[in-house]
Chains A and B, each alone.
Chain A
Amino acid sequence: MSDSAETQRQTAAVDSESIEDPLLEVDGLRKQFGGVVAVDGASFAVGEGSLTGLIGPNGAGKSTTFNLITGIHEPTGGRVTFDGQEITGLPPYTLANRGLVRTFQIARELSDMTVLENVMLAPDDQVGESAIRSVLPGLRDDVIADEEAVRDRAWETLDFFEIDHLAHENAGNLSGGQRKLLEMARVLMTDPEMVLLDEPLAGVNPTLEEKLLERIHELRREQGLTFLLVEHDMDVIMNNCEHIIVMHQGSVLAEGDAEAIKSDERVLEAYLGGEV
């Protein structure tokens, strides 16, 4: 077991070096919660402008990896590099301001705020986030000009995701699928370079799923955004992602395109329960 696991890890490491122009690089990432090792030396890279899929059976460490990359948990070991700079352990707001943002597995809308408020919250460095500027009469003019721009962009984003009719609704009143759209809209308002999507399609009906995927492809094409996608639906991953990373028991089991993953014995074993 340990021999074969070692070989697998090496294979994976070799594969990840084949990514050209990586935007995000994860190297030997490790996280221990008490005696449980949730992520155990995961290494992979995500190419700039790519749509990369991250899959693996339940408990493989995908969500923890997301949390480690985005600064929600601090890694026990390993390095994360984004855009050529080390970002290991930086707090989430710093990462968001550098262009690395995420959505959550269970949509976390700000339920007592309207959809428009949710979306308008997101842009970085809004002038009116300064308490003094929003109060003092002379300075407030700048705040208002900035607010108008943010509002107009918010409406455009809501239009893009076709939830503009819900703009003044409290986010807590939205359906599950609408919440997923809202999360995407909100994250885009931060003007990101790379978006980590944690199961954006879970609990979403097929029509909406189609719509969401279309948006993701459009954003890649037109704005050059990079996406890392965790998803359980194999068809979605196989049909949309040009590069797929398979995690198992906290580390990377295999990497490659859809064909390579489909024919990989170890992946089949991990999913169908071979040796554990």
Chain B
Amino acid sequence: MSAADAVRDRLDELPDIGLVAGFLAGIWAIMLVLALAVGGTAWPNLAAGFIGSVTVLIGGYAILALALNLQWGYTGLFNIGVAGFMAVGAYTTAILTAPTDPAAGAVAGLGLPLWVGLLGGMLMAAVIGGLAALPALRLKADYLAIVTVAFSEVIRLTVNWSGLAEFSLFGRTLGTGGATGISFESANDVAGSLVNGVGAPVAAAFQSVGVSAPNLANLTYGLMLMAVVGASYWVFARLTNSPFGRVLKAIREDETVTQSLGKDTRLFKIKTFMIGCALMGLAGVLFRGQAGYISPSQFRPTITFYVFAALIIGGSGSNTGSILGAATFSGLLFYLPARIGENVPLGTRAPSNIVEAVAALGSLDPFPLVAYTVGNVSTLRFVLIGVVLIYIIQNQPEGLLGHRNEPAASVDLDRSRADIGGESDE
């Protein structure tokens, strides 16, 4: 316990950017070790694949966790419709950017450039978020949760509906593609063109050690997502370390008191909902629509609960904690076990079911159980996630960083007396 405290104290002294960078570097190192251990001579390509995929996952979840942290962690708005707002953003971007002359069988769109699509997607997610918020914000937390989760399913079922799969509007044919989904200009292609264009010399170096072009593009895309995470973090840190953020925290603590102190809390709640949903919409297209294709099944409510898990692990109410939680959840609990399961050879003694595995314990042979666990880790990782969540909620309910005191203010809060020196932290 004291050792853990010592580690924690060390970590507390690191600046946040160092903490996040160190955490990511640690996860990358684990991926590298895994690739070295199982990849043989092909390890560079395997490592690039692992690191690229884990970075994309962490990036996607980090953006979502930041957005949810603003709504739930700061303001206490229990939004369990994350998947729905992701779908709004992703589908808007898709419809705006899908080619006007699609391949046979695909649905047409407006053919606008990707950046217009991304902005449009965020805007639409914000507007829909605001509309959903209007009636919902009068509700207490539990009811808001029910409304938002229902809302997200309504959105998913609407885009799934064949009636909207293809229709004509002002003489143009467009649609959601229904259950088959919709293809559009992929953000991944931007990474690919970077790799083949400006980054060609670097790419050549990577390729000379056996890293494949798709893996390299994926890695580049992961780093681009990290840049988006960085930008979102910058915006959200300023947003929350301000009087605005102070009102949000106060709403979470006691809305009646906040109103009694002269704050129109409804306005703050609607704004917060819109800002958070805009970012969720962006994550919807950048994360789920990475390959330039989305379909309704990518926006099931499960993803909402993953984002909550990430935020709880990281510490709701802390922006830095959101990113660490996203990295822990998606990198260490979600991605890593699956890769271990796929790549670790089991030998021939792996039993085919859990009964045989446990029965072998009777003859003091733990190997079958271990082999069974490793072999079925893709499924069992959800048990692991559950165990981690229970452990965290029981032993450290504030998550990794929730214990930190992060006052919402845009200046250093010490007295501005000469001997203490009240410089602002900007």
Give chain A's interface residues, CB within 8 Å of chain B: 70, 72, 91-93, 96-97, 101-102, 104, 108, 110-114, 116-117, 120-122, 124, 126-131, 134-135, 140, 143-144, 146-148, 150-152, 155, 167-168, 170, 186-187, 190
Contact = CB atoms under 8 A, between A and B. Distances in A.
A140 B407 CA distance: 18
Given A93-B262, A148-B424, A135 B409 contact: no
Nearest to B260: A92
A251 to B, nearest CB: 25
B259 A93 contact: yes
A167 B260 contact: no
B257 interface: yes
B243 A134 contact: yes
Contacts of B239: 131, 134-135
A57 B245 CA distance: 42
A180 to B, nearest CB: 14
Contact of B257 (A108, A128, A146): A108
Contacts of A72: 256, 260
Interface string B51-91: 00000000000000000000000000000000000000000
Interface of B: 235, 238-239, 241-247, 249-250, 252-254, 256-265, 271, 275, 317, 405, 407-411, 413, 415-416, 422, 424, 426
B275 A117 contact: no
A71 B264 CA distance: 13
25 contacts: A93-B260, A101-B260, A101-B261, A110-B258, A112-B253, A113-B250, A117-B246, A117-B407, A117-B409, A121-B247, A121-B258, A121-B263, A122-B261, A126-B243, A129-B243, A129-B244, A131-B244, A134-B241, A135-B238, A135-B239, A144-B410, A146-B243, A147-B243, A148-B422, A150-B243
Contacts, number: 137
Contact of A129 (B247, B252, B260): B247
Contacts of A110: 249-250, 253-254, 257-258
Contacts of B265: 93
A31 B250 CA distance: 29
Contacts of B242: 128, 134, 143, 147
B179 to A, nearest CB: 38
A92 B411 CA distance: 29
A96 B271 contact: no
B244 A128 contact: yes
Given A96-B261, A186-B261, A167 B238 contact: no
B243 A113 contact: no
A92 B255 CA distance: 11
Given A129-B247, A148-B416, 14 more contacts: A93-B264, A96-B262, A108-B256, A112-B253, A113-B408, A117-B249, A121-B246, A127-B243, A134-B238, A144-B424, A146-B243, A147-B424, A168-B405, A190-B262
Nearest to B238: A135
Nearest to A164: B415
B243 A143 contact: yes
What are the 5 tightest A-B residue pairs by CB atom distance, in nearest-first order? Answer: A96-B262, A134-B242, A128-B243, A110-B253, A126-B243
B249 A112 contact: yes
B408 to A, nearest CB: 6
A151 B426 CA distance: 15
A110 B245 CA distance: 14
A143 B259 contact: no
A52 to B, nearest CB: 20
B259 A111 contact: no
Given A117-B408, A131-B275, A92 B259 contact: yes
Contacts of B257: 104, 108, 110
A94 to B, nearest CB: 8
Contacts of B241: 134
Contacts of A130: 244
Contact of A147 (B249, B411, B415): B411
Nearest to B256: A72
Nearest to B263: A93
A219 B422 CA distance: 28
Contacts of A186: 261
Nearest to A117: B407
Nearest to B402: A112
B415 A155 contact: yes
Contacts of A168: 405, 407, 413
A14 to B, nearest CB: 33
Most buried by B among A126, A128, A143: A128
Contacts of B409: 116-117, 120, 147, 151
B372 to A, nearest CB: 44
Given A110-B253, A128-B410, A96 B260 contact: yes
Most buried by A among B256, B260, B265: B260
A185 B260 CA distance: 14
Contact of B235 (A91, A135, A152): A135
A256 to B, nearest CB: 30
A44 B49 CA distance: 77
Contacts of A124: 262
A134 B247 CA distance: 13
A96 B238 CA distance: 27
Contacts of B254: 108, 110
Nearest to B247: A129
Given A72-B256, A110-B250, A121-B246, A134 B410 contact: yes
B407 A114 contact: yes
Contacts of B258: 110, 121
B141 to A, nearest CB: 16
A122 B250 CA distance: 10
Contact of B416 (A96, A146, A152): A152
Contacts of B249: 110, 112-113, 117
Contacts of B275: 131
A237 to B, nearest CB: 24
A212 B106 CA distance: 74
B413 A151 contact: yes
A168 B414 CA distance: 9
B381 to A, nearest CB: 32
A144 B241 CA distance: 11
Contact of A151 (B253, B262, B416): B416
Contacts of A128: 242-244, 410
A108 B255 CA distance: 11
